[in-house]
Amino acid sequence: MGLFNDILGKLTGSSGGGADSAVTNAIVGLLTSKEHGGLSGLVESFNKSGLGDIVSSWVGTGKNLPATADQIAKGLGSSKLGAIASQLGVSPDEASSTLAKVLPSIVDKLTPNGQVPTGDLLQQGLNILKGKL
Confidence check: pLDDT of 124 > 50: yes
- The residue ranking higher by pLDDT, 61 or 5, is 61
Helix-strand-coil percent breakdown of the chain, rounded to 5?
70, 0, 30
101 contact partners, CB below 8 Å, separation of at least 6:
none
pTM of the predicted model as reported, rounded to 2 decimal places: 0.76
Instruction: For the chain, give every domain's residue range.
Output: 2-132
What architecture is the 2-132 domain classified under in CATH? Orthogonal Bundle (1.10)
Which residue type sits at 24? T
pLDDT of residue 126: 46
